[in-house]
Structure 1
Amino acid sequence: MASFPDDITVDILLRLPVKSLARFWCVCKSWKSLLASAYFVKAHLDRSSKFRTVGLLKYDDNNSTRIGGYRSHRRELSHLDPSFGHPDRYDAVGSCNGVLCLTIYYKDNPDLSDIFIWNPSIHECMVVPQLHCHVSGLIAFGFYPLSGHLDDFKVVSISFYFGAHPDCHSSEAQIYSLRSNSWKKIGNSFPSWLDKNLGHQVVFQNFICWCPYACVDGQIVTPLVLLDTVEDASARNPSSQCYEVWTMKEFGVTESWTKLYTTTVFTNGFLQCWPLGAASFGEVLFVKCFYFGLRFCLPSHVVSYDARRSEFEEFKVEVDSDCSSQLVPYVESLVSVVTRD
Structure 2
Amino acid sequence: MESSQERCCLSQKDHDEDQNPMLLASFPQEIILEILLRLPVRSLSRFRCVSKQWCSLTSSSKFMKSHLEKSNEHERDDNYTNRSLLLVSMDGFEIKTKSCFLHSVLHNNSPVKMLDVEPPKRAIYPSLYLLGSCNGIFGVLEGYHDVILWNPAIKHLKKLPNSGTNFRRYKIFTYGFGYDELNDDYKVVEICCYARLGINRETIINVYSLRSNSWRRIKDYEGGMISCSPGVFFNGVLHWVAVHKEGMKRAYSILSLNVSSETHETRLMQPQYDEKDGVFYLTIGVLKGRLCLFCRYYEQKTDVWMMNAYGNKESWSKFASIPYSLNNLGHISPLSVSRSGEILLQYGRSLMLYNKADDKFIETEVKMDDPTSLKEAATYTESLVSPHLYDVRD
- Asked if TM exceeds 0.5, the reply is yes
Q: Partners in 2 of 1:123 and 1:199 — Cα distance?
A: 26
Q: Pairwise mapping of residues 26-41 of structure 1 onto structure 2 (< 5 A)? A: 26-41=49-64
Deviation at 1:72, TM superposition (A): 4.4
How many residue pairs are counted as aligned between the two chains?
Answer: 312
Who is 1:206 aligned against? 236
Deviation at 1:236, TM superposition (A): 4.4
Q: Partners in 1 of 2:197 and 2:304 — Cα distance?
A: 40
Letter in 1 for 2:121: F
Of 309, 332, 336, the match for 2:382? 332
Q: Is the aligned partner of 1:142 residue 2:172?
A: no
Query: Do the aligned partners of 2:84 and 2:379 also contact (CA within 8 Å) in 1?
Result: yes
Deviation at 1:44, TM superposition (A): 1.5
Q: Partners in 1 of 2:310 and 2:361 — Cα distance?
A: 32
Letter in 1 for 2:240: W
Who is 2:263 aligned against? none
SS of the aligned residue for 1:162 comes to strand
Who is 1:230 aligned against? 290
Who is 2:7 aligned against? none
Query: Do the aligned partners of 2:173 and 2:228 also contact (CA within 8 Å) in 1?
Result: no
Of 284, 287, 294, the match for 2:347? 287
Q: Is the aligned partner of 1:303 residue 2:326?
A: no
Q: Pairwise mapping of residues 184-263 of structure 1 onto structure 2 (< 5 A)? A: 184-189=216-221, 191=223, 193-195=224-226, 197-211=227-241, 216-219=274-277, 220-223=280-283, 225-226=285-286, 228-236=288-296, 241-263=300-322
Deviation at 1:8, TM superposition (A): 1.7
SS of the aligned residue for 2:153 comes to coil
Q: Pairwise mapping of residues 100-111 of structure 1 onto structure 2 (< 5 A)? A: 100-105=138-143
Deviation at 1:18, TM superposition (A): 0.9
**Residues 165, 272 of structure 1: alpha-carbon distance in 2 compared, 3 angstrom cutoff:** closer
Of 199, 202, 211, the match for 1:179? 211
Gaps of 5+ in 2: 1-21, 75-80, 106-111, 244-251, 253-272
% identity of equivalent residues: 28
Task: Give deviations 1:265-286, integer Å, cap 9, x for gaps.
Answer: 434xx96452122233332313
Query: Do the aligned partners of 2:95 and 2:119 also contact (CA within 8 Å) in 1?
Result: no
SS of the aligned residue for 1:303 comes to strand
TM-score for both structures, normalised by structure 1? 0.79
Who is 1:293 aligned against? none
Relative to total residues, which structure has the larger strand share, 1 or 2?
1
Deviation at 1:62, TM superposition (A): 3.5
Letter in 2 for 1:103: L
**Residues 180, 230 of structure 1: alpha-carbon distance in 2 compared, 3 angstrom cutoff:** same
Of 122, 125, 129, the match for 2:154? 122
Query: Do the aligned partners of 1:218 and 1:237 also contact (CA within 8 Å) in 2?
Result: no
Query: Do the aligned partners of 1:55 and 1:279 also contact (CA within 8 Å) in 2?
Result: no
Q: Partners in 2 of 1:156 and 1:31 — Cα distance?
A: 36
Letter in 2 for 1:178: L
Gaps of 5+ in 1: 106-111, 289-299
TM-score for both structures, normalised by structure 2? 0.69
Deviation at 1:52, TM superposition (A): 1.2
